[in-house]
Amino acid sequence: MKSPHSEICDTTERREQRVQVRNKISGEVGLSFGCTIEGDTVQVELPDGSLDSWPEDDCEMV
């Protein structure tokens, strides 16, 4: 079974589709736009247009 990070990254980068994601710690929701495999993070665009990077373990698909 794929980890959530892998599923998010596969969809975002390989299929070129942005995914709605939620930060399990803060509850923030945004759209994925990239991943860093080395750092195990997902790059997220928040509703206000700001950008953030969330650790893999804190990120889930909505």
Please check whether residue 29 is in contact with residue 47, taking contact to mean a CB–CB distance below 8 angstroms: yes
Give the mean model confidence (pLDDT) for residues 37-44. Answer: 86
Q: Are the C-beta atoms of 53 and 43 separated by less than 8 Å?
A: yes
CATH no. of 4-61: 2.30.30
Q: Is the dihedral of CA 7, 9, 15, 20 positive or negative?
A: positive
Closest CA to 36 of 59, 17, 2, 20: 59
Whole-number pLDDT of residue 15: 85
How do residues 11-36 score in pLDDT, each as one tens digit? 888 888 999 999 999 999 999 999 88
